[in-house]
Amino acid sequence: MTPLALSGFLSRLRGKLAGFARDKRGVSAVEFAIILPFMAILYLGGTAVTQGIIIKRKVVLVTHTVGDLVARDNNITNAEVTAIFDAAKAVFAPYGWSNLLKIKVSSVNINAAGTATVGWGEALQDTARAPNSSVTLPAGLNAPSTSIIWTEVSYVYTPPVGGAFTGGSVNLRDQLYIRPRLVTTITRSAN
């Protein structure tokens, strides 16, 4: 290419670039294309966080529901355990509970010396605490010659998006200690 041809080419290129710089019609589209990925990440992240907060609230509601229903009874039967766990599933709706929601409820007996042991335990999709196993209660809950209902609920939440930021899944947990309302110790029978 001769110097004269190169000079003409650069002049035309400069003119096209100047015309492009003066043209304001595409600015909005370019700005939108730059901002869109950030808006999408913000929207999807906000959705995942909101769903996680709602599910955490459901875990708390299930914990309190199970604990309260057990504490209102004087003797828990197999049918009542099934009904209580069914109520927990209903509280957790519309979120899926299968293989993800784990519930443990235990009656903890505290003897005259203040030593706490499990009287009986039940569980949904988890292992119940073994009878007579030792338990450490938070300070102030081990009043001698009493009992307490201990409810533990956990749920493995996997965000629909953004799992890479949270390590894949988050274990949401809650527990509740509640005194029996009608009797000193709630018994457990098979009927």
pLDDT in tens, 42-88: 888 888 888 889 999 999 999 999 999 999 999 999 999 999 999 99
Give the best-scoring range by mean pLDDT among 42-51, 102-111, 160-169, 180-189: 102-111
Structure confidence at residue 120 as a pLDDT band (50, 70, 90): very high
Q: What is the pLDDT of residue 125?
A: 92
Question: Quick one: average pLDDT of 96-101?
Answer: 81
The rounded distance, in Å, linking the Cα atoms of 108 and 163 is: 38
Pick the more confident residue, 158 or 115: 115
Distances (CA, A) of 169 to 39, 48, 58, 95, 162: 23, 11, 17, 15, 10
- Identify which of 145, 93, 102 has the alpha carbon closest to the alpha carbon of residue 121: 102
Structure confidence at residue 152 as a pLDDT band (50, 70, 90): very high
Q: What is the pLDDT of residue 42?
A: 86
Strand order in the sheet with 101-110: 116-124, 101-110, 146-157, 170-178
Percent of the chain with pLDDT over 70: 92
Q: Is-above-0.85 flag for pTM?
A: no
pLDDT for 90 beyond 80: yes
The rounded distance, in Å, linking the Cα atoms of 114 and 63 is: 25
The rounded distance, in Å, linking the Cα atoms of 152 and 9 is: 77
